[in-house]
């Protein structure tokens, strides 16, 4: 007897996202069975499950083979930029959120993932009230589109919090669900900014190691520099080899920003032999506190404030440093592979 599968059935049977099924339909139609029209609705026959799994496997093998449709799709993966610091309270969350807003204003679709396990607080700064988090993808099978909350200027906010830790204990089936969901996210956006907690804590480590690029938030405070160096050294020992940038926050003068950036990059170069590119600075500005009191990101609260202009420049500098070849691999797939170790 022929069984008829709806797209939801097929998604469940193959563990592929519906959007991916539709993409495969358009890209690999000749390798897939014809759909059946019944009562004005298209169904898949039972053979479609294997056919889609085969196409999915083949598609995955094509990663990196330039010029193929698969490679073109992979090129559409978002840049995944992790914002981190050695020490807490240096301005990561503020920079991550306002940077996303500026990317959005520059015509880039930006998502912020709240991966801070301790004080997940992007929603407070963004003035939103998320109902779900990454954890619900694992436990309730929600889709990424169902947990994303639209923040200011259309920025997508992915509440993570404790869900990030739950990932470390997830089963293979749950992980497959998560990979599909996170990959969906990387396809939907141009840039994904991951706001992490400070330091190399469990759960954050893998996000950092998987990211395409890491942005270190430094401050003129000497302990911030020492802690940042310690974190970078740990990443270096874990063989993180993709670009690392720094931004100096809460500076009083340009000279101070330049001194701090140089001290950090000099140290890293001298002792670890690797490069850190300073990508900008953000002045110390009472606008940040005033905007927070107002539950509004400072880039919206006062577009012309110094800090807002600083973050705008930061976004522009990061876009200038775009490295297209980075986008052919999924950072979140890397992340899930790291979790398995």
φ and ψ of 133, to 5 deg: -145, 180
Q: Answer yes or no whether residue 246 interacts with Mg ion by CB under 5 A.
A: no
* DSSP per-residue letters across 29-90: GGGSPPPEEETTEEEEETTHHHHHHHHHHHHHHTTT-TTSHHHHHHTTPPEEEEEE-SSSSS
**Binding marks (x or -) toward ligand ATP, 271..310, rule CB under 6 A?**
-----------x-xx--xx--x--------------x---
Pairing of strands 79-84, 4-5: unpaired
Binding range to Mg ion, per CB under 5 A, among 14-22, 50-58, 115-123, 209-217: 115-123
Please, what is the minimum distance in Å from the beta carbon of residue 248 to ligand ATP? 10
Q: What are the strands, taking DSSP E only, across 140-268?
A: 149-150, 156-159, 191-196, 213-218, 244-251
What is the pattern of x (binds Mg ion, CB under 5 A) and - over residues 275-314? ----------------------------------------
Integer angstrom CA distances of residue 84 from 114, 162, 263, 304: 12, 18, 18, 26
Q: Which helix (H) or strand (E) holds 178?
A: helix 172-188
Q: Of 59 and 92, which CB lies nearer to ligand ATP in the complex structure?
A: 92
Nearer to ligand ATP, 119 or 176 (CB): 119
Q: How far is the CB of 260 from ligand ATP (least distance, A)?
A: 13
Candidates 14, 94, 98, 224; binder of ligand ATP (CB under 6 A) is 94
Q: Which residues bind Mg ion (CB under 5 A)?
A: 92-93, 116
Q: Which residues bind ligand ATP (CB under 6 A)?
A: 85, 88-94, 116, 119, 197-198, 249-250, 282, 284-285, 288-289, 292, 307
């Amino acid at each position: 007897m022929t069984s008829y599968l709806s797209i939801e059935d097929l998604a469940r049977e193959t563990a592929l996202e519906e959007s991916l099924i539709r993409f495969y339909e358009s890209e690999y139609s000749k390798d897939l069975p014809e759909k059946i029209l019944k009562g004005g609705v298209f169904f898949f026959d039972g053979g479609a499950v294997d056919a889609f799994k085969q196409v999915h496997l083949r598609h995955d093998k094509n990663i990196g083979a330039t010029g193929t449709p698969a490679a073109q799709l992979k090129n559409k993966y978002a840049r995944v930029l992790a914002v981190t610091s050695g020490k807490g309270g240096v301005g990561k969350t503020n920079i991550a959120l306002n940077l996303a807003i500026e990317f959005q204003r520059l015509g880039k679709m930006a998502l912020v993932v709240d991966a801070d396990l301790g004080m997940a607080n992007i929603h407070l700064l963004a003035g939103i009230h998320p109902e779900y988090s990454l954890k619900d993808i694992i436990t309730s099978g929600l889709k990424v589109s169902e947990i994303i909350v639209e923040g200011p200027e259309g920025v997508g906010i992915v509440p993570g919090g404790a869900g990030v830790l739950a990932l470390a204990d997830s089963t293979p089936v749950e992980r497959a669900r998560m990979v599909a969901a996170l990959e969906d996210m990387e396809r939907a956006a141009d840039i994904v900014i991951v706001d992490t907690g400070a330091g190399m804590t469990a759960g954050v480590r893998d996000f950092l190691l998987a990211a395409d690029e890491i942005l270190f938030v430094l401050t003129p405070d000497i302990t911030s520099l020492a802690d940042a160096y310690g974190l970078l050294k740990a990443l270096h020992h874990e063989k993180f080899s993709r670009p690392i940038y720094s931004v100096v926050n809460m500076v009083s003068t340009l000279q101070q920003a330049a001194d701090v950036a140089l001290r950090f990059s000099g140290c890293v170069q001298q002792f670890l032999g690797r490069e850190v590119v300073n990508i900008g600075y953000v002045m110390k500005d009472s606008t940040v506190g005033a905007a927070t009191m107002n539950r509004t990101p400072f880039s919206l609260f006062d577009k012309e404030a110094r800090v807002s202009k600083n973050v705008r420049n930061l976004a522009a500098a990061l876009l200038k440093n775009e490295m297209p070849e980075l986008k052919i691999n999924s950072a979140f797939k890397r992340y899930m592979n790291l979790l398995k170790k």
